[in-house]
Every structure is written in structure tokens, then in C-alpha cells.
Amino acid sequence: MAKADLFGEALWDQYSNKVSDRMNNPRNQGEITEEEAKERGGKLVVADFGAESCGDAVRLFWLVDESNDKIIDTKFKSFGCGTAIASSDMMAELCLGKTVDEAVKITNIDVEMALRDDPNEPAVPGQKMHCSVMAYDVIKEAAAIYKGVDADSFERENIVCECARISLSTLKEVIKLNDLKTVEQITDYTKAGAFCKSCIRPGGHEKKDIYLVDILKDVRAEMDEEK
């Protein structure tokens, strides 16, 4: 069956050529075995992460040179949709050649931007943006395993949506990059606010330090000032 039949013609047109290419021909899909790691003299790291927002999961393999903490090989296995495969493939590629400390700075925004054909055009439809969030989380898991620490120790800032694991900086970047104007658009792009809805506005199930309505208002004000 053609992909246009699976996704719908209009939806499929919203994917970049890079995404569609990596759906069909992922460069880094596969695994690294313990035997291979021993032969190549590297430390094998295997990390798993599942995204509650869409039911997808990814397994990341790193082969790390312990003398300098550099990732000398990387593979992945994705258990999910085509967008998750493309995002995981790019995520693995971005890790290659970096140190573990450098790799843990890679965000889902970096992955999505690397998949764009045009810097000003999103690589995937808004409702599929959350697939790249797994990339950020599985990298943290891999780094935590390698360093023997808790993955939360790599959290660099406030998580606004605990359900979808979306950070404040990610929300700000997504709003600016895609010129989002409503909370509903933010939810479509990131899945923030799609579940318990506590992060949308005050009065929800859990009290938050900051809400999507506040973030949107502040970012839109910044954007207006920059015009």
C-alpha cells in the first residue's frame, strides 16, 4: 500500500523529503552486540524509552570509547510509526562522534530541525512533532547508564508538561519556529496538555509554576517586539 494511502495525501505532503527518505531507508537501524563491542574495544550502552504520548518505543545502542567518552558507533531499534523511525535515525546520527556530555545536549528540536528540507518549514505535521521527544529522553537514559547516574540528573530546566515530558525551552522554540498562536496548536505540535491538561491553565488537576497560556502569551509578546 502506498504511503499516501496510509497517511492520507494531504498529511503525507506535510513530511519533508528527509523524513520520508529515512522512513524508507534508515541509515542507523540495527543493533550492536556485546561480542562486537568487545572486538572493537568499546563500552556497549543499551537504553530503552517508551513514549506514553503515542505508544511508540525506541532502543538506543551506543559504542563508547572509554578513554575519551566519545560515541564511536550508534544504532537504534524503533517500535513505532514511520515518523518515530525517521526521528530515531536522525537522533542516532547526531550522537555519532560526540562525547557523551555533548550528546546529552541534543534535544528533540535539534532532531526535528535536522530533518527539515527548508529551515523555515517543519519536517513533520504538527500532530507528529511529539515523536522526536523520545530522542531527547532515550539519549538521557543512555548517558545515565554510561555514567551510572539517574537520568533526571541531566534535566537542565523546568518540565512544563510532565505527561509528555516537554520542557520550557522546547515549548518556546516550537512556538517561535512554527508561529503558533493557540494552545491547541501547541498541543498538536508537542502533545503538551494532551493528557491530564494540568499544564494548560490554572485550575487543573495539579498546580504548576507556569502554564501553556502564560508561555504562549509571553512568547507571542517577544515575537511582536522583534518585528
Confidence of residue 56 (pLDDT cuts 50, 70, 90): confident
- For residue 148, count other CB atoms closer than 10 A to its CB: 6
* Active site residue ranges: 54, 131
Backbone phi and psi for residue 81, each to the nearest 5 degrees, phi listed first: -80, 175
CATH 1.10.10 fits 157-227, yes or no: yes
Cell numbers at residue 63, please?
Answer: 559504542
122-159: per-residue pLDDT in tens? 888 866 776 777 777 899 999 999 999 988 777 656 78
Banded model confidence at residue 39, pLDDT cuts 50, 70, 90: very high
The b-or-e profile of 183-192 (16+ CB within 10 A means b, else e) is bebbbbbbbb
- Kindly indicate whether the domain formed by 1-156 is annotated with CATH number 3.90.1010.10: yes
Q: Quick check: 30 pLDDT over 60? A: yes
Asked if residues 116 and 18 have their Cβ atoms less than 8 Å apart, the reply is yes
Report DSSP state, residue 106.
Answer: -
CA distance 131 to 190: 9
Q: 77-102 pLDDT, tens per residue? A: 998 888 889 999 999 999 999 999 99
Mean confidence (pLDDT) of the chain:
87
Instruction: Quote the CA–CA distance of 72 and 61 in Å, as a whole number.
Output: 11
Angstrom distances, CA of residue 99 to CA of 36, 62, 104, 176, 195: 20, 11, 9, 29, 35
Number of CB atoms found within 10 A of residue 125's CB: 18
Domain spans of the chain? 1-156, 157-227
- The better pLDDT of the pair 183, 2 is held by 183
